[in-house]
Chain A
């Protein structure tokens, strides 16, 4: 990496970066500095402005004001290609990879110039082995697991010999053990002189890996720290401005009868690149919360759509309150008392362009909101208003389009709507992804309260901390198979982490 003699001892410097989106100040005069070989964390809860800041550095978005300095000289970064030319590499949280082509083709796409796949494949193998990120260059990408895909994403970055590498929430798709391996790679990179910007909200990781940290809250820098010298609690306080609200769990006593019952549920995926479900068995009783852990891409999407009714399965595999619903559609299951909060909010859980009132009608229509085929508008408005009030949804009223709400508020509305339906069984996927800490705590409390009032609650989540906080029993989904659930008190994070990677007696038996 031969760069011209640096004009300053910092690789990257941001001065008073400001970015405004219609109505909100995403970044408010943010400044930070990263030196060569430094691992610098950018901490903040969801909505604090981390992603926007990274997009500005990477050229995907332009700042409204402020200055970027690269090796001390002012730099203009109008698009990602320019960022790459400077030597900035980005590993996205949601990978920008293409399923239909091979690993080496994916990497070739990100590199300028001519196309020599054979030579590139050799380079990729060599680099992968050097950094402990082994991949097979000619495998089609869709065959790779999420962890392997991240390796490809990182290798793609490394091949461009970056001087600054940005990683956005990289461990959200990894098992705890895989995260450790990633940290080793990053440390090696830092030793080689590369600067690293590490975005995360996982404070323990940051304390383990990072040299310095800049803390963002509501778009502004509220402090910087050396993570190893402070406690997680202090960092959390900086991040949120106050101590995190505690979640209150009543003791758990479950109904003897199972309300939701999966019996050796097996199903081929609809999506050509999806995961097949194999012999998934589980029982969820009223009064308890059962959690399903697992790295994304192991069948969660398929499982959740089979539960909700968006996809059907064979009979005798799925029972709802004793009724065989596997082959029955969504409407039948909802009538039996099933409610569902999907992972995608805009576009699936809510229609972005429609008002909150209309969105309340989306799944609320069973509650006497439709009379003789016609919509009872005042009742719908009242239902929506109730949800907004009870769940503290910040919006300009029931007529506000769903897309004008922040992620956290929209999730509060959607979850509020489903809970207001007084379901007997509630299935929730990724309940607090992208949601700010205060709203997340509120939502988790709602789930606990719902279960304690007698409903059976099933939570599918990639956040282990969350599952350990609210669930009574936890199971792990790996490659479409489910481990037998254990009581939370009997679980340890390391064991669950191993299960998430497929290690353990539950997944040893060949299916």
Chain B
């Protein structure tokens, strides 16, 4: 009888570090083919629309980078926590609250040309996200409450809060009763880098974040403490690394980045606050973090990949009448196959003959 056995490698396989995400992408693509077929769509054509079409025009590339920016930013923040085994699943909520905080400033001051407005909005966005993240941080640090469940619940609360605000106090009085705020004035918006394209200066914020993340995680002692906390909590306690510090840092950083990303989206392509402010970025960023294996370059590339998936999903929706949930299904498949493929990095698969 044959049996599959997993044998631990003595050293992680280098090739698979890059190979695993590629393999996962391939498998997810194969697994989603039946979905396309069931719609009566040619899978190959669908894949072309998904992955290649969006990049054919300058506008396409601009959209690609524009969408990747918040994904990467949020994922970097989440990765800080994931390394320390702090599981923030509430990036959606923090993103939303960050957008809300930034929008308050935008609506109040956006009509006049203030040069400090955009930086203030960035600060507000980050603080909004941190405030929302302070709740699970406090509850975990002082009451041992699972951050997974608290952050998840707060996602729903944040969405409801947003719904209330855009239907009520923050609703655009001239907006024909649509659930949205007024459009932001020019000084509350990022200016596009090039005429006709939507990509704006916020991408530089993300690039700066990549560098900061690298410095924190690879070089700083704080990053070391968090790594140890994630790998061996008992060793972290033995070494005197405070658990509460790790919890707060993880959640504050991910809250700030998510909130900032929310601000970037509201003050960028959207230009206002509405319930569609997040097409699920908070969850997609989790996948980005995993695809990127929690390291800076990987997260950057992972963000670009998932951004492409989003664009492709929209394109397939428009041109082939496929439902929006197809993208999400693909994302789920991608994560599953990635987790499976990752095993090959740490283990070798052996086929044994058992007597």
Interface residues of chain A, those whose CB is within 8 Å of chain B, are: 22-23, 76, 78, 308-310, 329-331, 334, 340, 342, 344, 347-354, 358, 361-363, 365, 370, 373-375, 404
Contacts and interface: CB of A to CB of B under 8 A. Distances in A.
Nearest to B237: A310
Contacts of B235: 347-351, 362
B224 A329 contact: no
A354 B220 contact: no
Contacts of B240: 309, 329-331, 334, 363
A187 B285 CA distance: 65
A351 B232 contact: yes
Closest 5 pairs (CB-CB, A-B): A330-B240, A331-B240, A348-B234, A351-B232, A370-B221
B231 A353 contact: yes
A350 B239 CA distance: 9
Given A347-B234, A350-B235, A362-B239, A76 B355 contact: yes
Contacts of A351: 228, 231-232, 235
Nearest to B9: A22
Given A340-B238, A404-B10, A361 B231 contact: no
Most B C-beta atoms less than 10 A away, residue of A347, A351, A370 = A351
Given A351-B235, A373-B220, A375-B221, 6 more contacts: A23-B10, A308-B238, A344-B234, A352-B231, A352-B232, A362-B238
B114 interface: no
25 contacts: A23-B10, A76-B355, A310-B237, A330-B240, A331-B240, A340-B238, A347-B234, A348-B234, A348-B238, A349-B238, A350-B235, A351-B235, A352-B231, A353-B231, A354-B228, A354-B231, A362-B238, A365-B221, A370-B221, A373-B220, A374-B219, A374-B221, A375-B219, A375-B220, A404-B10
Nearest to B219: A374
B108 interface: no
Interface string B3-30: 0000110100000000000000000000
A310 B238 contact: yes
B222 interface: yes
Contacts of A329: 240, 242
A368 B219 CA distance: 15
Contacts of B220: 373-375
Nearest to B233: A347
A495 B243 CA distance: 43
Nearest to B228: A351
B234 to A, nearest CB: 4
Contacts of A350: 235
Contacts of A330: 237-240
B238 A358 contact: no
B224 A358 contact: yes
B250 to A, nearest CB: 17
Nearest to A333: B240
Given A373-B222, A375-B220, A375-B224, A363 B239 contact: yes
A308 B10 CA distance: 33
B222 to A, nearest CB: 7
For the complex, would chain A's binding face be called helix, strand, loop or mixed by DSSP majority? loop
A78 B221 CA distance: 48
Contacts of A358: 224
B84 to A, nearest CB: 13
Nearest to A358: B224
B10 to A, nearest CB: 6
Contacts of B10: 22-23, 404
Nearest to A404: B10
Interface of B: 7-8, 10, 219-222, 224, 227-228, 231-232, 234-235, 237-240, 242, 354-355
B228 A362 contact: yes
Contacts of B355: 76
Nearest to A359: B235
A334 B238 CA distance: 11
B2 to A, nearest CB: 15
Contacts of B7: 22
B325 to A, nearest CB: 38
Most A C-beta atoms less than 10 A away, residue of B219, B228, B234, B235 = B235
A370 B225 CA distance: 12
Nearest to A23: B10
Contacts of B238: 308, 310, 330, 340, 342, 348-349, 362-363
A347 B232 contact: yes
A511 B219 CA distance: 52
Contacts of A365: 221, 239
Contacts of A331: 240, 242
Nearest to A370: B221
Nearest to A332: B240
Contacts of B228: 351, 354, 362
A354 B230 CA distance: 12
Given A331-B240, A354-B228, A373 B234 contact: no
Contacts of B354: 78
A348 B236 CA distance: 8
Nearest to B355: A76
Contacts of B231: 351-354
A331 B238 CA distance: 9
A51 B238 CA distance: 29
Nearest to B215: A374
Nearest to B239: A362
Nearest to B352: A62
A349 B237 CA distance: 10
Most A C-beta atoms less than 10 A away, residue of B10, B237, B238 = B238
Contacts of A370: 221
A78 B240 CA distance: 44
A22 B227 CA distance: 27
Contacts of B219: 374-375
A348 B219 CA distance: 23
Nearest to B231: A351
A373 B221 contact: yes
A246 to B, nearest CB: 33
B108 to A, nearest CB: 37
Contacts of A347: 232, 234-235
Contacts of B221: 365, 370, 373-375
Contacts of A334: 240
Contacts of A340: 238
A308 to B, nearest CB: 7
A353 B346 CA distance: 11
A329 B355 CA distance: 55
Contacts of A308: 238
Contacts of B237: 310, 330
A374 B216 CA distance: 9
B14 to A, nearest CB: 14
B213 to A, nearest CB: 15
Contacts of B227: 354
Most A C-beta atoms less than 10 A away, residue of B228, B231, B239 = B239
